[in-house]
Each structure stands twice: as structure tokens, then as C-alpha cells.
Chains A and B, each alone.
Chain A
Amino acid sequence: MQNIQRLFLTLGAFIAMSGQAVAQEATSLDAQVNAAFANATGWFVSLIFAPIPGTSFPWIVMWLVVGASVFSIYFAFVQFRFFGHAIGLVKGDYSDPDDAGEVSHFQALATALSGTVGLGNIAGVAVAVGIGGPGATFWMILAGLLGMASKFTECTLGVKYRNEYPDGSVSGGPMYYMSKGFDELGLPGGKILAVLFSIFCILGALGGGNMFQANQAHAQITQITGDFPGWITGLIFAAVVFAVIVGGIKSIAKVTEKIVPLMGILYVGAALIVLIVNYDKIGWAFGQIFEGAFTGLGVAGGMVGALIQGFKRAAFSNEAGVGSAAIAHSAVKTKEPITEGFVSLLEPLIDTVVICTMTALVIVISGQLLIDEASGNYILNEGATAIATIDGNSGVALTSAAFGSAISWFPFVLAIAVILFAFSTMISWSYYGLKAWTYLFGEGKMTELIFKIIFCIFIVIGAAASLGPVIDFSDAAIFAMAVVNITALYFLMKVVKKELASYSSRLKSGEIKKYQH
């Protein structure tokens, strides 16, 4: 009963947020949705991105980087020491043939990746490079490498403290390691953290995992078809997502899950082609990245501006420390939770260090960013908020133009890729959000259905709103998850250290061995 009450209270808050928009006349629906949205979420955004007093450095970015660095040092750079082992695990070298048919390490990695690889790699990087210049790439790579340790920590805990139900299904994620892990260590407050995390996770699922995706997918479609109201795209997307998550139409999800990896490979392939064609500029581009990292090359905020953008976009793209991957990874049936941690540390590497860097290189090499020949610095746009580009593009349009300058038909492929990435990310986040939702309100058909319907409504809102408020809110909600999650990780990291010590000694002694396949 209490659960139902809580559900309706939360529901009320959501309706207050979205209801205003729905009730308005259809004439300027987009503009009104936008204004209502910015009003409703502004305070939250400013709280999360508040600068450290006396500087322009958002405290949240510092929080993520400090967290990732602490985990890297605490686990003696596990991301490099166990890198080869992680590859072996994914290849199935250590999988017991008797467990065949369970979720494999590869499948868990692929599922988690399909939730992170997407618009963050295409649109997010363009935002980072557009505002922070090529130098942002350097900080993005650094954040990606450090973030591998955060992922390792959270995913190990995610598997260790998951719930296994009598029917064989599993539920895992930060909310479970917060409540169960804290109890085990005799620490207070685990439950409070878990509830906070779940709230932010639901907001993150509706923001970055939903509205941002719908918004950018719409932007991409209008580039090809010409302008039309966003809510139309939103409705179509909502209908398809509804069919999958409520209607249980697996075939759509199945098809997407097969096409998305192909699109990923196609995307990296196209980036490689652009780089090969312009091989003579690769050295110069890396030069720009290094120089920009420490001087800013004239971007707003200089070096700090580049650093903030790089760190921010890396976190948004690979979600290390955010806790979402811990939900995705916890489904793996393994006797050793830490093996899932090793596998997950590959995610920031693939997502950020490889794919994001590719996008950044293509944008830099394409010459879309305007350079003042005399000083060698980048020219800023009128408001001095970002680097001026040839057609005034930003976000996904900038990436599209950069690819288009080398492969004229590629923007069409990219448009399809963006739509599919957006779709698969929405499906993944609908699951993360749902897990947080059921943690708060209990498992049950009705409570699950309510969340799924709210999720679909937000797709329409996201597609109709303009990029500014949406991207701010998306970032804020996802980073708020990281605030709670990393706090919990600090308390629980000694549990992971114990696991790591035990596992590596057994690996050395030969107790953990490869199987002949």
C-alpha cells in the first residue's frame, strides 16, 4: 500500500512536469514544451553543474575524475594489468562448456555497449570538440582510460550483490550493492543511497537515455527531410518503443540488436576510410589535439575549457562511474563476480578511447572548424560560446558535415545509424530505468506498465524540445547518478579489492584455468 502511495506521489510530480506541455494548443507546441521544460528543470541543472567556488570548473567533473583516479590507483591500474585477461574472458577462454547457454561475457559486454555506444560518440563528441576544440579529445581519452577502473569497480559489485529470484531471473545494479553491500559491512545509509540513486536513475533514463536520444534523432531526420515538428518524430518513436517494451514485440528489438553492432562497425569503418584518405593530415590532427589540450588554441575557457568539455563528454559517453553498466552486467551467470568487472573495463576503451577519438579526428581533419590563419587559433562564433564552423553546425550535424565532406553519401548512412543508435539506447535505458523503478515501487505488472508509459511520453517531449535544455537536463540527471554511485563505491571498494586479491592469486596458481574448446 505504501508502495502504491509513493508511486502516485512520484507520478504526480512527473505529470506536473509534463502535463503543462500536453495541455497546450498544438500551434506552437514545440516552443511551449521547450519553455515549460527549461523552467521545470533549470534549478537541478544549475545545482549539478555549479562551479567550484572561485573557479569556472564544475565540481561534478572534478568528482568523476577524482573518483576514476582513486579507483585506478587503489587497484594499481587494474585496467592495464588485466587487459589481456579481459580479452581472454570475452573470447570465452575461461568459460566452462557446462555453462553454455547462459549469458556469456561477450553478450553482457555487447548489451552494455549498445547502451553506451550511440549518440554520445557521434553528437557528444561533436559538442565537445565544437566547444572545447580538438584539445578536448586528449582529455576525453584520459578520462576514458581512468574511467575503466570505475567501470571495473561498479560492475564487479553489480554482479556480487545482485538479486536472484526463484524463477531464475536476476535484478542487479547500484541500488542492490548499496543496500546489501552496506548492510554486509555494517555501514548505515545504504538504503538512503539506493533510493537516491534509483530516483536519479529514473531521471537519467528519461533524460539522457530517452529525451536526448529522441531529440538528436529528430534533428538528424530533419536534416534529410526538411523541417517538421518534433512531436511527430516523437510519436513515431514512442509507438515503436511502446511496441517493444510494452507489447513485448521481441522481433523489433532483435532486429535492432543485430543491426546496431553492424552500424557501429560501419561507422568505425567509415571513419577509418576518411582517416586513410587524409592520412597526411593525421599527424597534424594529433598535433592540434595535444596543443589544444594544454593551450586551448583560442577556445572559450582556454585549456580549462577544453578539459571540462573532454571530461564531461567522456563521462556522458561511456557512463563510467554512473552505475548504469552495473545494471546491464549483473545478468551474467558467473561464479566469479570480478570476471564481469574485467570484461566491463573494456567498455570505456571501446566507447571512448577508440570510437570517440575516431569521431574527433574526423571532425578535426575535415576542416569544419574554422581556423584563423594568422594566429593558428580557432575562430569563435558570434556569441563566443563555441568554435565557428563552416555552416554553423553543431552536435550531430557537425559530425554529419565532417563525414559528408569526405564521403558525400555518408550523412544518409549516419542518419540511419543515429536513429538506430537512439532506438537501442532508449531500449537499454528503459530497462535501467525500469530496474530503478521496480526497486522503489516493487516488482509487478502494473507498476512496470506505469513506468513504461511515462517513458514513452518523455520520448515525445524530448523530440519536441530544443537541444539546449534537453542536453543540460540529460547531463545533470546522469551525473547525479554518479554522485551517489561513486560515494557508495568509495565505501565498497575494499570488497572488490579482496575479490581481486583472491582471484589473481588463484589465476597465478593455475586454479583458474583455460578450457579447451
Chain B
Amino acid sequence: MKLVIGLDGASTGDKALDFAKSLAAQTKSCELIVVYVIEWSPFSFQTAEENAQRHKRREEEIEIAMERVVNPAVKSLSDAGLTARAIVRHGDVADTIDSIAVKEGASQIVVARSSAGGLTTRLFGSSTANLVMNASVPVTVVA
């Protein structure tokens, strides 16, 4: 069985990790894929200077995400005796998590309940809500 765990760097992510751990403990062999998506759109507007620096920034963003969010999560899963690996991607959070789940052949996605609030969420919905509505595999939202 393969599980995709979507993290957003907030503390609620720990709950998702704990839930995934307990889920994995019930099966014989389970591969856990920890995914962190850096919100990014190919259709945003940038200055020429930002474009020239983009490749460098992208590497930095990936490195920071690995260091602060994904690697600690993978470590805590490995420490619990589970097989885990990490993916960091740029893109739309909901779309990207879903397409990784499809590509990897995961049977389930585990995410934490959205921690963000405010006007944007009211207008466009949260990434979690978007994922739940559009996902191609079952999604568990951990509260």
C-alpha cells in the first residue's frame, strides 16, 4: 500500500503524520510519501530581474522546504520503523498533491485540516477543500 501525506508546514501536519503512522501500522507493508507543495503559478507576472534569479530561488525554496518540513517528517516516520520518502514540488497545492498520488499509484491521501482562514479562504476555498472535492483517490482529512 502506498500513502501520500500532504504537509503544509503548520503544526496540524503532525496530526496527519500520526494518523498515517497508525494507518501504516495496521498493514504489513506500507510506503509513505511525504509531499510538500510550494504554492506557485506559471501564470504569475514577474520582473526580468526576478526571472533571471528564478532558478536560484527555486533551489533555495526546495532546500528550505526539505530542511524545515519534509526531512523531519520523513525522519519521524523512519524512526517509527516505516518506509518513507519525500517529494517537494512547485505548483497549485491541491492539483499537485493529487497528480503525485495518481502518478505514484497511492491508494489514499492524508492531509491535515486547513489551518488558514480569512477572506481568501472564504472566496476561493482552502487547498484542503479543493483537494477533497477534486481528488482522484480517497482523501482523509485529519482534524
Listed in ascending order, the chain A residues whose CB lies under 8 Å from chain B are 92, 95, 97, 100-108, 110-111, 114-115, 167-171, 250, 253, 257-258, 260-261, 327-328, 331-333, 427-428, 431-432, 517
Q: Choose, from B16-24, B56-64, B104-112, the stretch at the interface.
A: B56-64
Once the chains bind, are B47 and A253 in contact (CB under 8 Å)? yes
How many angstroms between the C-alpha atoms of A260 and B44 in the bound complex? 12
How many angstroms between the C-alpha atoms of A253 and B53 in the bound complex? 15
**What residues of B have a CB within 8 angstroms of the CB of A328 in the complex?**
48, 51
* Min C-beta distance of A129 to chain B, whole Å: 30
**What residues of A have a CB within 8 angstroms of the CB of B89 in the complex?**
97, 100-101
Once the chains bind, are B55 and A107 in contact (CB under 8 Å)? no
Q: A95-B42, A102-B55, A167-B56 are in contact. Are A427 and B47 (CB under 8 A)?
A: yes
Once the chains bind, are A100 and B48 in contact (CB under 8 Å)? no
Q: Which of B40, B43, B51 contacts A100 (CB 8 A)?
A: B40
**What residues of A have a CB within 8 angstroms of the CB of B61 in the complex?**
101
Select from chain B the residue with minimum beta-carbon distance to A248.
B49
Once the chains bind, are B91 and A103 in contact (CB under 8 Å)? no
Select from chain A the residue with minimum beta-carbon distance to B52.
A331
* Min C-beta distance of B124 to chain A, whole Å: 17
Known interface pairs A92-B42, A100-B42, A114-B45; 16 further A-B residue pairs with C-beta atoms within 8 A, sorted by A's residue number: A97-B89, A100-B89, A101-B40, A101-B58, A105-B42, A107-B51, A111-B45, A111-B46, A111-B48, A167-B56, A258-B45, A261-B45, A332-B51, A427-B47, A431-B47, A431-B48
Q: Chain A interface mostly helix, strand, loop or mixed? A: helix
Q: Which of B47, B52, B59, B95 contacts A170 (CB 8 A)?
A: B52
Once the chains bind, are B42 and A104 in contact (CB under 8 Å)? yes
**What residues of B have a CB within 8 angstroms of the CB of A95 in the complex?**
42
**What residues of B have a CB within 8 angstroms of the CB of A92 in the complex?**
42
How many angstroms between the C-alpha atoms of A105 and B50 in the bound complex? 14
* Min C-beta distance of A53 to chain B, whole Å: 40
How many angstroms between the C-alpha atoms of A104 and B45 in the bound complex? 10
Once the chains bind, are B46 and A100 in contact (CB under 8 Å)? no
How many angstroms between the C-alpha atoms of A190 and B90 in the bound complex? 39
Once the chains bind, are A107 and B42 in contact (CB under 8 Å)? yes
Once the chains bind, are B47 and A171 in contact (CB under 8 Å)? no
B75 within 8 A of A: no
Select from chain A the residue with minimum beta-carbon distance to B49.
A431
* Min C-beta distance of A445 to chain B, whole Å: 14
Once the chains bind, are B54 and A102 in contact (CB under 8 Å)? yes
Once the chains bind, are A108 and B51 in contact (CB under 8 Å)? yes
**What residues of B have a CB within 8 angstroms of the CB of A110 in the complex?**
45-46
Once the chains bind, are A171 and B52 in contact (CB under 8 Å)? yes
**What residues of A have a CB within 8 angstroms of the CB of B38 in the complex?**
101
**What residues of A have a CB within 8 angstroms of the CB of B95 in the complex?**
517
A-B interface pairs (CB < 8 A), number: 87
Once the chains bind, are A327 and B48 in contact (CB under 8 Å)? yes
B99 within 8 A of A: yes
Select from chain A the residue with minimum beta-carbon distance to B92.
A100
Once the chains bind, are A100 and B44 in contact (CB under 8 Å)? no
Once the chains bind, are A106 and B43 in contact (CB under 8 Å)? yes
Number of chain B residues whose Cβ lies closer than 8 Å to a Cβ of chain A: 27
How many angstroms between the C-alpha atoms of A107 and B89 in the bound complex? 18
Once the chains bind, are B48 and A107 in contact (CB under 8 Å)? no
How many angstroms between the C-alpha atoms of A95 and B90 in the bound complex? 13
A sample of 24 inter-chain contacts (CB < 8 A) reads A95-B42, A100-B91, A100-B96, A101-B38, A102-B54, A102-B58, A103-B51, A104-B42, A106-B42, A107-B45, A107-B46, A108-B51, A111-B45, A111-B46, A115-B48, A167-B56, A168-B56, A168-B59, A171-B52, A257-B46, A258-B45, A260-B45, A428-B48, A432-B48
How many angstroms between the C-alpha atoms of A507 and B46 in the bound complex? 29
Select from chain B the residue with minimum beta-carbon distance to A164.
B55
Binary flags per residue of B4-19, CB closer than 8 Å to A gives 1, else 0: 0000000000000000
Select from chain A the residue with minimum beta-carbon distance to B61.
A101
Which 9 pairs, one residue from A and one from B, show the smallest C-beta to C-beta distance? Answer: A101-B90, A104-B42, A168-B56, A331-B51, A100-B90, A431-B48, A257-B45, A101-B58, A168-B55
* Min C-beta distance of A139 to chain B, whole Å: 30
**What residues of A have a CB within 8 angstroms of the CB of B62 in the complex?**
101
Identify which of A97, A332, A428 gathers the most chain B CB atoms within 10 Å of its CB: A97
Select from chain A the residue with minimum beta-carbon distance to B60.
A168
How many angstroms between the C-alpha atoms of A517 and B95 in the bound complex? 9
**What residues of B have a CB within 8 angstroms of the CB of A333 in the complex?**
54-55
Select from chain A the residue with minimum beta-carbon distance to B100.
A97
Select from chain A the residue with minimum beta-carbon distance to B95.
A517
How many angstroms between the C-alpha atoms of A95 and B47 in the bound complex? 21
**What residues of B have a CB within 8 angstroms of the CB of A105 in the complex?**
42
Q: A101-B90, A103-B51, A331-B51 are in contact. Are A169 and B46 (CB under 8 A)?
A: no
Once the chains bind, are A331 and B48 in contact (CB under 8 Å)? yes
* Min C-beta distance of A154 to chain B, whole Å: 15
**What residues of A have a CB within 8 angstroms of the CB of B99 in the complex?**
97, 517
* Min C-beta distance of A106 to chain B, whole Å: 5
Once the chains bind, are B54 and A331 in contact (CB under 8 Å)? yes
How many angstroms between the C-alpha atoms of A170 and B49 in the bound complex? 10
Identify which of A105, A106, A169 gathers the most chain B CB atoms within 10 Å of its CB: A169
Q: Which of A107, A253, A327, A431 contacts B44 (CB 8 A)?
A: A107
Once the chains bind, are B54 and A103 in contact (CB under 8 Å)? yes
Once the chains bind, are B47 and A111 in contact (CB under 8 Å)? yes
* Min C-beta distance of B49 to chain A, whole Å: 5
Select from chain A the residue with minimum beta-carbon distance to B53.
A169
* Min C-beta distance of A169 to chain B, whole Å: 5
Select from chain A the residue with minimum beta-carbon distance to B103.
A97
How many angstroms between the C-alpha atoms of A261 and B43 in the bound complex? 12
**What residues of B have a CB within 8 angstroms of the CB of A332 in the complex?**
51
How many angstroms between the C-alpha atoms of A250 and B91 in the bound complex? 22
**What residues of A have a CB within 8 angstroms of the CB of B40 in the complex?**
100-101
**What residues of B have a CB within 8 angstroms of the CB of A111 in the complex?**
45-48, 51
**What residues of B have a CB within 8 angstroms of the CB of A100 in the complex?**
40, 42, 89-91, 96
